[in-house]
């Protein structure tokens, strides 16, 4: 028997999860369907993690409106959801006098978009703020902030569930039929019925639209690669360092961004790729990223790189056409009752909470919105053990001995924190899911010591055999079997 909902959201990225949470403020039955084994596994987990202020999006665009609105919501939202948020500020650095007019243009755009406190500063001021950076002048955006996009997405999803929304994981949507008031959505977790559908499938929004018979969208994948720099070098910069945006480029240029956990990101590159799943990193781009970053920070060394990753921009303009593509947020005339969010590239992370409000308004056009009296905007998590002063750590251990067992020694993650991650509200049972929720295995040794311990705890706590464990869901198996099984299978036939 299929379940009946008011709104079905397809896609559990930051946008889909923000929507599910926003809709849970109202008396609505909401379901979110995500194809992966966890939320935030798409573009939302692979970006610069910056809450942009909105000075580099054209005046009057949808992007500009939602960027500025979203950025204003972030501080409070992060406090409500226990997601770390740091206003580290941003410098767009002009290396030569002839780049200064570009800074002035950015400032003018920002001022008109309603970004506060933008200021152009000279070389000395740059050095006072960032002793390792030299430049001729810079645009300073003090309100720019950094967050952790994984934790943001997870927090939104968990808060949505706490407020009554349903989240189905491992639920790739494969067919959508019906019409406004009576949609049928077929997924890996069965069929659900819903009055309205929101297509928040990110890179695959064109595909999901097509499943419903809407053929007007096309998304071109454009890959952005990053390098992550060791925490030991975190002192090199204090805020974000951006170049003057390259002309006609597909992005903001290679920048240096501090992360919330104390690393530095270099990137992203911008390169159209054929496949939406091609988020591989390449040696060639790694070299260029390092060279470009060294223009600003000669002290950087290729040896400081600890790892690399890539994210894919859902572009609505092809590389041949190029230029600016705005967010598309609309109901296609041929299919009322389904809202499409297409081309939600940067600043989509920033805009997500504002996009969610727009979506709620759209839902309100179809059915009256009544406040959910049980809605609770907060998701309180205790602060990470490693960030607490010793006295507080001591009292935690005295209350709960599991705080005294350090599982991950690089990041000082305790057994208590790992247990909480294993028993997460979304019921995610992958090693990756526990990793992103607790930071285990994310340190220097990348799980050399704690990986096996966490995996063993998952077996004990969830009652699952080791051979069913995966990194991030079906296909990403960790074990081929027991050694005995393997020996038997491979024994030479006599």
Ligand X SMILES: Cc1cc2nc3c(=O)[nH]c(=O)nc-3n(C[C@H](O)[C@H](O)[C@H](O)COP(=O)(O)OP(=O)(O)OC[C@H]3O[C@@H](n4cnc5c(N)ncnc54)[C@H](O)[C@@H]3O)c2cc1C
Please identify which of the residues 52, 140, 255, 429 carries the catalytic annotation: 52
What residues contact 130, with CB distance under 8 A and at least 6 apart?
91, 237, 238, 239, 241
User: Would you give the binding string for ligand X spanning residues 294-333, x where CB under 6 A is met?
Assistant: -----------------xxx--------------------
User: Does the protein bind ligand X through residue 239 (CB under 6 A)?
Assistant: no
Q: Which is nearer to another protein, 367 or 393 (CB)?
A: 393
Of 295, 394, 427, 460, the one binding another protein (CB under 8 A) is: 394
Q: Which is nearer to another protein, 370 or 405 (CB)?
A: 405
Q: How many CB atoms lie within 10 A of CB 492?
A: 4
389: DSSP letter:
-
Nearest to 259 by CA among 388, 148, 413: 148
What's the rounded Cα separation, in Å, for the pair 355 and 19? 8
Q: What does DSSP say about strands 90-94 and 240-243: parallel, antiparallel, or unpaired?
A: parallel
Total of chain residues touching another protein, rule CB under 8 A: 61
Of 305, 317, 360, 369, the one binding another protein (CB under 8 A) is: 305
Only one residue has tokens 């009576």, namely: 182
Cα-Cα-Cα-Cα dihedral sign, residues 173, 176, 182, 188: negative
User: Does the protein bind ligand X through residue 347 (CB under 6 A)?
Assistant: yes
Only one residue has tokens 């299929």, namely: 2
Of 398, 423, 427, 468, the one binding another protein (CB under 8 A) is: 398
Residue in the shown chain whose Cβ atom is closest to ligand X: 348
What, of another protein, ligand X, none, does residue 305 touch, CB below 5 to 8 Å by kind? another protein
Of 55, 183, 217, 309, the one binding another protein (CB under 8 A) is: 309
CB 162 within 8 A of CB 425: yes
User: Does the protein bind another protein through residue 204 (CB under 8 A)?
Assistant: no
Of 206, 292, 345, 358, the one binding ligand X (CB under 6 A) is: 345
What, of another protein, ligand X, none, does residue 268 touch, CB below 5 to 8 Å by kind? ligand X
| Closest distance of CB 270 from another protein, Å | 17
Q: Which is nearer to another protein, 272 or 449 (CB)?
A: 449
User: Does the protein bind another protein through residue 486 (CB under 8 A)?
Assistant: yes
What, of ligand X, another protein, none, does residue 393 touch, CB below 5 to 8 Å by kind? another protein
Does residue 429 have an active-site annotation?
no
463: which 2 tokens? 């009652």
User: Does the protein bind another protein through residue 487 (CB under 8 A)?
Assistant: yes
What's the rounded Cα separation, in Å, for the pair 218 and 35? 20
What residues contact 449, with CB distance under 8 A and at least 6 apart?
408, 409, 410
| 133 Cα distance to chain centroid | 28
Q: How far is CA 231 from CA 111, 200, 288, 383, in A?
A: 35, 34, 21, 20
Beta bridge mates, 183:
178, 194
Of 181, 382, 401, 427, the one binding another protein (CB under 8 A) is: 401
CB 227 within 8 A of CB 290: yes
Total of chain residues touching ligand X, rule CB under 6 A: 40
What's the rounded Cα separation, in Å, for the pair 110 and 55? 4
Only one residue has tokens 């924190």, namely: 417
| Closest distance of CB 472 from another protein, Å | 7
What's the rounded Cα separation, in Å, for the pair 210 and 285? 34
Of 9, 173, 228, 308, the one binding ligand X (CB under 6 A) is: 173
Burial 76-102 (b: 16+ CB within 10 A, else e): ebbeebbbebeebbbbbbbeeeebbeb
Q: Which is nearer to ligand X, 204 or 296 (CB)?
A: 204
Binding part of the chain for another protein, among 102-110, 119-127, 211-219, 279-287 by CB under 8 A, reads 279-287
Of 8, 9, 28, 36, the one binding ligand X (CB under 6 A) is: 36
The radius of gyration computed from the CA coordinates of the chain, to the nearest angstrom, equals: 23
445: DSSP letter:
T
Q: What does DSSP say about strands 166-168 and 145-147: parallel, antiparallel, or unpaired?
A: unpaired
| Closest distance of CB 325 from ligand X, Å | 12
User: Would you give the binding string for another protein spanning residues 439-468, x where CB under 8 A is met?
Assistant: -----xxxxxx-xx---x---------xx-
Q: Which is nearer to ligand X, 153 or 416 (CB)?
A: 153
Q: How many CB atoms lie within 10 A of CB 367?
A: 14
| Closest distance of CB 359 from ligand X, Å | 12
Site for ligand X in 52-71 (CB under 6 A): 52
Binding part of the chain for another protein, among 97-105, 144-152, 305-313, 320-328 by CB under 8 A, reads 305-313
Nearest to 233 by CA among 288, 294, 281, 280: 294
Longest Cα–Cα distance in the chain: 81
| Closest distance of CB 430 from another protein, Å | 10
What's the rounded Cα separation, in Å, for the pair 212 and 338? 9
Task: Give catalytic residue positions.
Answer: 52
Per CB under 8 A, residues contacting another protein are 228, 277, 279-283, 286, 302, 305-309, 390-391, 393-394, 397-398, 401-402, 404-406, 409-410, 412, 444-449, 451-452, 456, 466-467, 470-491
Footprint of ligand X (CB under 6 A): 10-16, 33-36, 41-44, 47-50, 52, 172-173, 200-204, 208, 224, 268, 311-313, 344-350
């Amino acid at each position: 028997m299929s379940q009946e909902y008011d709104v079905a959201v397809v896609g559990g990225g930051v946008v889909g999860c923000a929507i599910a949470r926003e809709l849970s403020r109202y008396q609505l039955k909401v379901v979110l369907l995500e194809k992966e084994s966890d939320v935030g596994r798409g573009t939302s987990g692979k970006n610069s993690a910056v809450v942009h202020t909105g000075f580099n999006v054209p005046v009057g665009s949808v992007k500009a409106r939602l960027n500025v609105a979203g950025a204003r919501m972030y501080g409070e939202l992060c406090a409500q959801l226990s997601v770390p948020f740091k206003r580290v500020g941003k410098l767009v650095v002009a290396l030569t006098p002839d780049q200064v007019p570009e800074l002035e243009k950015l400032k003018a755009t920002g001022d008109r978009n309603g970004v506060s406190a933008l200021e152009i500063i000279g070389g000395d001021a740059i050095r006072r703020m960032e002793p390792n950076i030299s430049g001729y002048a810079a645009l300073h955006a003090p309100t720019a902030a950094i967050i952790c996009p994984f934790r943001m997405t997870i927090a939104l999803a968990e808060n949505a569930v706490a407020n009554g929304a349903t989240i189905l994981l491992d639920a790739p949507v494969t067919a959508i039929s019906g019409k406004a008031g009576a949609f049928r959505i077929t997924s890996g977790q069965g069929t659900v019925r819903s009055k309205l559908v929101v297509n928040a499938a990110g890179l695959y929004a064109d595909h999901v639209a097509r499943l419903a018979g809407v053929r007007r969208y096309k998304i071109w994948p454009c890959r952005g690669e990053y390098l992550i720099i060791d925490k030991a070098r975190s002192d090199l910069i204090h805020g974000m360092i951006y170049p003057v945006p390259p002309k006609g480029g597909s992005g903001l240029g290679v920048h240096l961004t501090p992360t919330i956990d104390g690393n530095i990101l270099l990137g992203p590159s911008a390169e159209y790729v054929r496949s939406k799943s091609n988020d591989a990193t390449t040696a060639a781009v790694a070299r260029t990223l390092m060279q470009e970053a060294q223009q600003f920070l000669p002290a950087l060394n290729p040896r400081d790189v600890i790892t690399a990753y890539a994210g894919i921009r859902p572009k609505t303009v092809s590389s041949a056409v190029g230029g600016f593509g705005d967010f598309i947020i609309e109901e296609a005339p041929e299919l009322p009752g389904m809202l499409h969010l297409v081309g939600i590239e940067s600043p989509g992370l920033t805009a997500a909470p504002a996009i969610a409000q727009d979506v709620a308004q759209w839902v309100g056009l179809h059915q009256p919105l009544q406040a959910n009296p049980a809605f609770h905007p907060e998701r309180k998590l205790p602060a990470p053990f490693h960030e607490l002063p010793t006295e507080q750590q001591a009292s935690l251990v005295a209350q709960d001995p599991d705080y005294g067992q350090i599982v991950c020694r690089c990041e000082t993650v305790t057994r208590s924190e790992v247990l909480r991650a294993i028993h997460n509200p979304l019921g995610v049972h992958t090693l990756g899911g526990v990793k992103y929720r607790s930071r285990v295995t994310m340190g220097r040794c990348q799980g050399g010591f704690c990986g096996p311990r966490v995996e063993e705890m998952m077996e004990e706590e969830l009652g699952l055999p080791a051979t069913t464990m995966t990194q991030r869901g079906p296909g990403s198996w960790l074990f081929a079997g027991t050694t005995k099984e393997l020996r038997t299978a491979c024994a030479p036939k006599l």
